[in-house]
């Protein structure tokens, strides 16, 4: 072989090698991006895609082992390449290790703990929730991650927004049905209104607390104020954004604020928002069924003030600024003291100041030679 | 609480050691009234103002120190009762002095007082050599006394309205209660600040006047504070003693009046203290709904309805139409064409040939067919339903037709 020949061969070898390399790269890279991700899922579903695949647990309870391809396709995990083995870490091959759970519930309560691996913050919060407390107290039906989010079909929980109330409704049907009649719930159901609160806005998402505690009670005005003191938001619906600031100065509000500041754990009866407006059944003031509709207001007051008479409701100024039109007597009393008090006090101050000046001048003069 | 007391003001005392003359300014009854009023006023201020400004750090500290808003209110109410009692007593005392002792009414501001104000202003500005010559009560004292009368009436009435709102609103429009609250708070601020500025300056800072506690003023103090009164005393112009018979007669007339006044106030107190112990009756807070009400049937069934589209539900009992679709869908994963299990259900030939352990279908004899035996025993990985097993059994027993 001559040197020239050798050089020619080398050139072709390099050219061919480069071509193969480029070709394989251009073919291989998209392939590795798509297929390997779905591989486990495809493999598992070759058995678990069978609708009739099932087993019987020791308790005699049947357990379907069917996983719908459709559910996986719509789940948030599968599309991100998070597949079966991400959660089912104990399964590496077939035959699978034996399941040691008596019932399906026991199995769910064991399997959901895998959520913590990625969602540790929300998982921790859920462990502090009332639901977790109920489970601790022995109610194994108390919800775990998968009861609300689903297991294989985990989807965004708030698409659409009304899905949240639907999720809670699985167990809290009566409350959610009441909520849907309320001014908030009706707006949500009508057009997925993003402004109105859904269950989780008031109760929290993962660390759902017992709403019957004194702490929840005294914090409630602030909770409602989250929206009802928002000027921009309230303007949209023609509502006053001052209800909270005025409430805080009212008979009820003073007590509640003080208890919140000093004794949040001591139950206090002074009215908070929900005592008058309702809890899940809050309605617009104009609604004849509203607890605070002018026609129903006295009955609402009589919950706590049973002997209150018909004039009683006019004494309520807890959400209204003092105005000449609505409360003229109050207006004039306020006006009197805001002008009379400074007048009297300034007169006193000037008069006393004059005396002090004179006394000082006299003393200085006396000391002069 | 300074009241007309001219009848006894001229008593003078001299001690032998020093010829310091003292003049009785306030008798014991007046001093006791002052102390009771002073204590109740202070307590009312310290318990009332935190309620007006509840969220200031000072207020919260006071609430905490006392042990609660309720206790603060209890002290406030108790102090109010003390103040009302001393006020009634004062009314009785003043009416007795006016009606029985016929002392001149010395607390009403008069033309002289206006002249004194003008004189004093000129003095303070340097246009006069000396202050005005005050009589028994200076205009400063008169103004303070009248302000106190006004304040006590306003605070008493509005306080009563806030304490007993339900009763109040049987007679007055609803607005009366918030108006009372506004007046009570406004008057409180005015009273406390006026006391601090006016009263404290005149009797504590300018010159610490102890007469409200000792009852006496020295001659020097008299010269300084009440020169006109001193002149009157020294000129011997004071009231003649009332003859006992006349006094007795007047007292007999006064007694029923006092009884009526007392009865009126006692009636008021009964309402004040006893009528509405509290406005609030244990409210039934919260909802009375069942919290845990699961939707039935539950939207997440634990088991899907089985055997709906297993491919084995219909048709003739032969391999190609009935059994092949069933076995291929449910067993094909492991027992498919490219199987590693040694048993394939991909064709009639394969299933009839059986696996490495021998045939699985004995035509006409399901009991001895391992396909049927394994499936009826249950627990196989690709477990058929009972209904499907029956179909397989029927197929085998029928001779496993192709």
Rounded to whole angstroms, the maximal C-alpha distance in chain B is 150
User: Is residue B367 situated within a structural domain?
Assistant: yes
To test the contact with chain B by mutation, choose from A52, A220, A271, A336 the residue with the greatest count of B C-beta atoms within 10 A, namely A52
| HSE (side-chain half, CA atoms, 13 Å) at A241 | 11
Contact across the interface for A352 and B201, Cβ inside 8 Å: yes
Helix (H, G, I), strand (E, B) or coil at A64: strand
Total domains in the fold of chain B: 2
| Residue in A with minimal Cα distance to B287 | A279
Same domain, B65 and B172: yes
- Within 8 A of A361 by CB-CB distance, chain B residues are 126
Same domain, B223 and B361: no
ipTM comes to 0.74
| C-alpha distance from B251 to closest chain A C-alpha (Å) | 41
Q: Containing domain of residue B110, as a range?
A: 6-275
Contact across the interface for A337 and B169, Cβ inside 8 Å: no
Distance, in Å, from the CA atom of A275 to the CA atom of B288, rounded to the nearest integer, reads: 13
Smallest Cβ distance to B292: which of A64, A172, A257? A172
Count of CB contacts below 8 A, A vs B? 202
Q: Where are the alpha helices (DSSP H) in B5-138?
A: 28-52, 57-66, 69-99, 111-124
Same domain, B206 and B324: no
Interval B74-132: pLDDT, tens:
999 999 999 999 999 999 999 999 888 888 888 889 899 999 999 999 999 889 888 89
Write down the residue that tokens 């006391």 correspond to: B195
Of B81, B76, B184, B24, the residue nearest A333 (C-alpha): B184
- Within 8 A of B330 by CB-CB distance, chain A residues are 50, 52-53
| Residue in A with minimal Cα distance to B296 | A170
Q: Give me the pLDDT at residue B273, please.
A: 63
Domain ranges of chain A: 35-119, 210-321, 328-369
| C-alpha distance from A305 to closest chain B C-alpha (Å) | 5
Smallest Cβ distance to A303: which of B283, B289, B309? B283
Interval A333-351: pLDDT, tens:
999 999 999 999 999 999 9
Q: Give me the pLDDT at residue B254, please.
A: 92
Per-residue pLDDT tens listing for chain B (402 residues): 344 444 344 444 444 434 578 888 898 999 999 999 999 999 999 999 999 998 899 999 999 999 888 899 999 999 999 999 999 999 999 999 988 888 888 888 989 999 999 999 999 988 988 889 998 899 999 999 999 999 999 999 999 888 888 888 888 998 999 999 999 999 999 999 999 999 999 888 888 888 889 888 888 888 888 898 888 888 877 677 888 888 999 999 999 989 998 998 888 777 666 556 555 555 555 556 677 777 665 544 444 434 444 444 445 678 887 788 788 777 776 787 666 677 888 888 888 888 877 788 888 888 888 888 888 877 777 778 778 888 888 888 888 888
Torsion over CA: B169, B171, B175, B179 (sign) = negative
Contact across the interface for B300 and A170, Cβ inside 8 Å: yes
Q: Show the tokens assigned to B260.
A: 């009526």
Contact across the interface for B60 and A359, Cβ inside 8 Å: no
Q: Where are the alpha helices (DSSP H) in chain A?
A: 3-48, 69-74, 84-87, 104-111, 120-127, 130-136, 145-149, 162-169, 173-181, 183-191, 199-203, 214-228, 231-236, 243-249, 251-262, 273-277, 297-302, 328-367
Q: Give me the pLDDT at residue A179, please.
A: 93
Contact across the interface for A361 and B63, Cβ inside 8 Å: no
Write the CATH number for B213: 1.20.950.20
Q: What distances in angstroms separate CA A346 from CA A343, A353, B80, B115, B190, one per listed residue?
A: 5, 10, 28, 21, 11
pLDDT at A280 over 80: yes
User: Is residue B285 situated within a structural domain?
Assistant: no
| C-alpha distance from B55 to closest chain A C-alpha (Å) | 7
The torsion defined by the Cα of A338, A339, A342 and A347, in degrees rounded to 10, comes to -160
Contact across the interface for A305 and B279, Cβ inside 8 Å: yes
| C-alpha distance from A6 to closest chain B C-alpha (Å) | 48
Contact across the interface for B174 and A311, Cβ inside 8 Å: yes
| C-alpha distance from B379 to closest chain A C-alpha (Å) | 7
Helix (H, G, I), strand (E, B) or coil at B193: helix
pLDDT at A240 over 50: yes
To test the contact with chain B by mutation, choose from A212, A262, A333 the residue with the greatest count of B C-beta atoms within 10 A, namely A333
Same domain, B265 and B334: no
User: Is residue B294 situated within a structural domain?
Assistant: no
Q: Measure the CA angle with vertex A142, ends A136 and A145; round to 5°.
A: 105
Q: Give me the pLDDT at residue A30, please.
A: 45
Smallest Cβ distance to B304: which of A51, A170, A248? A51
User: Is residue B141 situated within a structural domain?
Assistant: yes
Q: Show the tokens assigned to A326.
A: 């609505």
Same domain, B182 and B330: no
| Residue in B with minimal Cα distance to A63 | B303
DSSP-derived secondary structure for B12-44: EEE-SSS--EEEE-S-HHHHHHHHHHHHHHHHH
Confirm if A333 and B179 have CB atoms less than 8 A apart.
Answer: yes
Q: Give me the pLDDT at residue B129, please.
A: 87
To test the contact with chain A by mutation, choose from B128, B157, B179, B187 the residue with the greatest count of A C-beta atoms within 10 A, namely B179
- Within 8 A of B206 by CB-CB distance, chain A residues are 355, 359
Interval A187-213: pLDDT, tens:
998 888 889 999 999 999 998 988 888
Same domain, B65 and B196: yes
| Residue in B with minimal Cα distance to A151 | B300
Smallest Cβ distance to B193: which of A254, A280, A345? A345
| C-alpha distance from B306 to closest chain A C-alpha (Å) | 6
Residue B324 or residue A242, greater confidence = A242
Contact across the interface for B190 and A337, Cβ inside 8 Å: yes
Confirm if B84 and B92 have CB atoms less than 8 A apart.
Answer: no
Distance of CA A132 to the CA centre of its chain: 17
| C-alpha distance from B257 to closest chain A C-alpha (Å) | 34
**Mean local confidence (pLDDT), A176-184:** 92
Contact across the interface for B189 and A47, Cβ inside 8 Å: no
The torsion defined by the Cα of A333, A335, A340 and A342, in degrees rounded to 10, comes to 130
| Residue in B with minimal Cα distance to A276 | B285
User: Is residue B309 situated within a structural domain?
Assistant: no
User: Is residue B291 situated within a structural domain?
Assistant: no
Contact across the interface for A51 and B293, Cβ inside 8 Å: no
User: Is residue B208 situated within a structural domain?
Assistant: yes
A192: Cβ–Cβ under 8 A, 6 or more apart, which residues?
A: A160, A161, A162
Contact across the interface for A352 and B197, Cβ inside 8 Å: yes
Task: Examine the fold and report which residue of B275, B299, B330 is the final residue of a domain before the chain moves on.
Answer: B275
Distance, in Å, from the CA atom of A208 to the CA atom of A171, rounded to the nearest integer, reads: 14
pLDDT at A224 over 80: yes
Contact across the interface for A257 and B54, Cβ inside 8 Å: yes
pLDDT at A178 over 80: yes
| C-alpha distance from A15 to closest chain B C-alpha (Å) | 40
Helix (H, G, I), strand (E, B) or coil at A56: strand
């Amino acid at each position: 072989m001559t040197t020239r020949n050798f050089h020619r061969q080398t050139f072709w070898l390099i050219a061919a090698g480069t071509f193969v390399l480029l070709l394989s790269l251009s073919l291989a890279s998209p392939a590795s991006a798509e297929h390997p991700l779905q591989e486990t899922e495809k493999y598992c579903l070759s058995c678990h895609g069978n609708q009739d695949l099932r087993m019987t647990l020791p308790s005699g309870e049947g357990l379907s082992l069917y996983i719908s391809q459709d559910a996986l396709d719509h789940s948030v995990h599968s599309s991100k390449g998070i597949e079966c083995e991400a959660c089912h870490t104990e399964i590496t091959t077939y035959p699978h290790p034996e399941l040691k759970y008596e019932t399906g519930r026991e199995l769910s309560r064991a399997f959901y703990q895998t959520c913590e691996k990625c969602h540790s913050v929300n998982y921790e919060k859920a462990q502090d929730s009332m639901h977790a407390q109920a489970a601790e107290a022995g109610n194994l039906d108390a919800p775990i991650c998968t009861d609300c989010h689903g297991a294989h079909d985990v989807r965004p929980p708030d698409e659409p927004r009304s899905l949240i109330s639907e999720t809670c409704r699985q167990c809290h049907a009566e409350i959610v049905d009441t909520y849907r009649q309320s001014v908030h719930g009706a707006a949500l159901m009508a057009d997925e209104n993003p402004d109105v609160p859904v269950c989780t806005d008031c109760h929290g998402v993962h660390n759902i607390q017992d709403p019957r505690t004194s702490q929840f009670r005294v914090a409630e005005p602030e909770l409602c104020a989250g929206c009802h003191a928002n000027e921009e938001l309230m303007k949209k619906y023609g509502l006053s954004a001052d209800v909270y600031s005025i409430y805080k100065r009212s008979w009820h509000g003073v007590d509640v604020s003080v208890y919140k500041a000093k004794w949040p754990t001591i139950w206090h009866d002074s009215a908070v928002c929900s005592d008058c407006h309702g809890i899940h059944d809050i309605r617009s003031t104009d609604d004849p069924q509203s607890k605070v509709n002018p026609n129903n207001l006295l009955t609402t007051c009589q919950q706590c003030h049973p002997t209150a008479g018909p004039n009683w409701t006019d004494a309520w100024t807890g959400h209204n600024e003092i105005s000449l039109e609505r409360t003229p007597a109050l207006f004039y009393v306020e006006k009197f003291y805001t002008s009379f008090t400074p007048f009297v006090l300034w007169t006193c101050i000037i008069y006393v100041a004059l005396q002090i000046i004179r006394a000082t001048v006299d003393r200085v003069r006396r000391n002069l030679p | 609480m300074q009241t007309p007391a001219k009848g006894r003001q001229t008593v003078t005392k001299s001690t032998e050691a020093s010829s310091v003359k003292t003049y009785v300014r306030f008798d014991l009854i007046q001093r006791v009234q002052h102390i009771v009023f002073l204590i109740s006023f202070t307590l009312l201020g310290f318990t009332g103002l935190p309620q007006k400004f509840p969220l200031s750090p000072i207020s919260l500290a006071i609430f905490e120190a006392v042990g609660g808003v309720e206790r603060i209110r209890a002290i406030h109410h108790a102090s109010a009762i003390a103040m009302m009692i001393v006020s009634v007593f004062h009314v009785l005392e003043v009416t007795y002095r006016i009606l029985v002792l016929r002392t001149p009414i010395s607390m009403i501001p008069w033309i002289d007082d206006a002249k004194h104000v003008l004189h004093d202003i000129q003095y303070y500005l340097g246009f006069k050599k000396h202050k005005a010559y005050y009589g028994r009560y200076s205009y400063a004292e008169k103004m303070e006394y009248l302000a106190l009368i006004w304040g006590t009436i306003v605070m008493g009435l509005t306080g009563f309205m806030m304490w007993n709102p339900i009763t109040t609103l049987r007679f007055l429009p609803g607005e009366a209660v918030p108006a009372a609250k506004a007046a009570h708070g406004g008057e409180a601020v005015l009273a406390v600040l006026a006391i601090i500025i006016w009263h404290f300056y005149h009797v504590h800072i300018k010159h610490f006047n102890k007469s409200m506690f000792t009852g006496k003023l020295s001659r020097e103090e008299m010269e300084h504070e009440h020169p006109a009164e001193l002149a009157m005393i020294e000129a011997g112009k004071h009231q003649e003693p009332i003859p006992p018979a006349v006094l007795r007669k007047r007292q007999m007339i006064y007694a029923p009046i006092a009884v009526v006044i007392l009865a009126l106030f006692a009636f008021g107190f009964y309402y004040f203290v006893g009528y509405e112990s509290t406005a609030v009756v244990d409210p039934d807070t919260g909802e009375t709904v069942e919290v845990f009400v699961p939707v039935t049937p539950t939207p997440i069934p634990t088991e899907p309805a089985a055997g709906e589209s297993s491919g084995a539900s219909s048709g003739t009992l032969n391999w190609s139409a009935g059994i092949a679709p069933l076995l291929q869908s449910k067993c094909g994963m492991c027992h498919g064409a490219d199987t590693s299990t040694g048993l394939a259900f991909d064709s009639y030939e394969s299933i009839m040939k059986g696996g490495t352990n021998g045939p699985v279908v004995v035509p006409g004899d399901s009991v001895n067919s391992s396909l049927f035996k394994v499936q009826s025993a249950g627990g196989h990985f690709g477990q058929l339903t009972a209904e499907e097993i029956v179909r397989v059994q029927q197929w085998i027993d029928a001779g496993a037709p192709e």
